[in-house]
Structure 1
Amino acid sequence: MKFTKIALVSVIGMTSLVGAAHSTFAEGPSVGNSKAAITFVAGSGPVTPVDPTNPTEPLVPSGPTDPTDPPTGNAGSLTLDYVSSVEFGSNEISNRTEEYSSKSKKPFIQVTDRRGTGDGWSVIAKASKFTNGTTDSLPGAVITFKNGSTVSISNGTSPEVNNTIILNTDGNTTAAVVSAKSGTGLGTWVTRWLGPSPEENDGSLNDNVTLTIPAGSATVGSHDATITWTLTDAPGL
């Protein structure tokens, strides 16, 4: 009986040694490295304006509330792609100072930064004197943009919009509009001043864009002023 027990122990011991030897000589994974590479240069051609309410879509003026101004056509790596006009309609002359809200429900400007440097940029604006055939036909008139917002398909940090932009119609005074600090505003950004239900032609006015006419300033006829928007390659505000 003692011999049988000793033989059994010997067999078990040999089995353990075989398993240990197999583990010691097992092969590991075979590894190699490769690379993925790409090169970028600054953008150059004009950029298509986008819909201010849905920047994933191009601006195709088809609805009654869409801006119809043509694109600027500016080319380069930092461009002002679009600026839209504002319309205040037909109004009776008042004997008091009056503020008129815009009939334009989706006014906006569009800036594209394809420099790839993140150096920042800014936009300023100024308004000319109103004219109806004679210079300064609405002396003292003031155009105001307020409560603006920015939108983009970019995942980057948004530029900052000046909350209230006051344009004295003297042809000289400038006002800060929107500014991208260093590292912000890359890609295409829309700055917009939307009215209520901007897609609906329901007759509502846009209180975020107004024209103030001083008492005694209005005269009969149609009056036009030009707003000049200027993009520079340095942050402002």
Structure 2
Amino acid sequence: MKKTTKIASALLISTFVLGAASPVFADQVAAPITDATVKFKAEAADADSGGNTMDPTNPDGNGVKPDTGTGSVGTKGPLRVDFAPNFNFSEVTMSGNAKDYHPLYPKVSVLDATGKVTDPLIEKRVPHYVQVTDNRGTNEGWELTVSATAFRGTKNQEADLKATLTLGYAELASAVKPIEGNDFKPTLFSKATVLSDTPEKIMEAKADKGMGSWSAVFSKDKETDFGFGALDINPNITLSVPADSKKDPNEEYKSTITWTLSTTPTTPPVK
């Protein structure tokens, strides 16, 4: 029985092959050759993001517009800082002991698919973040560093709070997708960084990395809704005030933070 089945199958296959029609080729009349062309122009020297950034908690979304006062309005050009955060510790109760304080999360307005603020308005808080955009098209790379002055009184510049500001853990956020094994990610130095007048490296994009928009997000929290409650402070950013600090309730203490974006590395690697 098994032998019969095998022979029948072989006969059927032979019949199919022998009975197959020979292919018919049409005579070639013509073979036109056409072009597909594209030309690029550089982004304007005064280009900016219009005050909008990606959503650091949802990079693939429509983006957000940080509220006025939450940070820098950004720089201009094809290589730019779209947003750098202020750190608002608000009004806190002074203590005779050494004490740590944490800033309020920045408030942003959600954008719609056209890049405009939603109507009705949707607002939320997000982690502190700094966003860099590289639209130069040269793939040369870049570097972002941060430094800060001492916390001094705005009325009395001699009044030194002796405080330190520490940026904690950070993660990258971007809508840029990897291709052919290249994730295009810049290097993020996510160690805890005590700010001083010496620039500290935050992100570095080597050649063929860091194209498009990238954010360093200073938060371990993965939630997308940070709310507006009194406890909505970022524990990952810390202002440490020592016990021997003199504190004047009539004074406001301020540190100026500088975020420097360079086209080439200017500082040694962070160990």
- Asked if Structure 1 and Structure 2 have the same fold, meaning a TM-score greater than 0.5 normalized by the shorter chain, the answer is yes
- Could you tell me whether the CA contact under 8 Å between 2:72 and 2:86 is conserved in 1? no
Instruction: Tell me the residue number matched to 1:98.
Output: 99
Number of residue pairs matched? 211
RMSD: 2.9
CA deviations over 1:167-193 (Å, ceiling 9, x no partner): 03xxx3221111111111101112221
Contiguous gaps of at least 5 residues in structure 1: 1-18
What amino acid sits opposite 2:40 in the alignment?
F
- Could you tell me whether the CA contact under 8 Å between 2:169 and 2:220 is conserved in 1? no
Contiguous gaps of at least 5 residues in structure 2: 1-18, 106-125, 178-182
Alpha-carbon distance in structure 1 between the residues aligned to 2:37 and 2:211 = 22
- Could you tell me whether the CA contact under 8 Å between 2:144 and 2:203 is conserved in 1? yes
Structure 2 CA distance for partners of 1:25 and 1:103, relative to 1, 3 Å: closer
- Candidates 243, 256, 260, aligned match of 1:226: 256
- Could you tell me whether the CA contact under 8 Å between 1:93 and 1:218 is conserved in 2? no
Identity of aligned residues (%): 26
What amino acid sits opposite 1:231 in the alignment?
L
| Deviating more after overlay: 91-100 vs 159-168 | 91-100
Alignment of 1:104-119 (within 5 A): 104=105, 106-119=127-140
- Candidates 219, 223, 227, aligned match of 1:200: 227
Report deviation, 1:201. Answer: 1.8
**Could you tell me the TM-score, scaled by structure 2's length?**
0.67
What amino acid sits opposite 1:106 in the alignment?
P
Corresponding residue SS for 1:79: strand
Alpha-carbon distance in structure 2 between the residues aligned to 1:96 and 1:118 = 50
Looking at secondary structure, tell me which structure has more strand per residue: 1
CA deviations over 1:62-87 (Å, ceiling 9, x no partner): 7xxx9733522x22221112112011
- Candidates 140, 154, 165, aligned match of 1:143: 165
Alpha-carbon distance in structure 2 between the residues aligned to 1:211 and 1:31 = 72
- Could you tell me whether the CA contact under 8 Å between 1:61 and 1:68 is conserved in 2? yes
- Could you tell me whether the CA contact under 8 Å between 1:165 and 1:176 is conserved in 2? no
Structure 2 CA distance for partners of 1:24 and 1:109, relative to 1, 3 Å: closer
Corresponding residue SS for 2:83: strand
**Could you tell me the TM-score, scaled by structure 1's length?**
0.76
Larger radius of gyration: 1
Structure 2 CA distance for partners of 1:187 and 1:25, relative to 1, 3 Å: closer
Structure 2 CA distance for partners of 1:204 and 1:58, relative to 1, 3 Å: closer
Alpha-carbon distance in structure 2 between the residues aligned to 1:144 and 1:53 = 22
- Could you tell me whether the CA contact under 8 Å between 1:130 and 1:138 is conserved in 2? yes
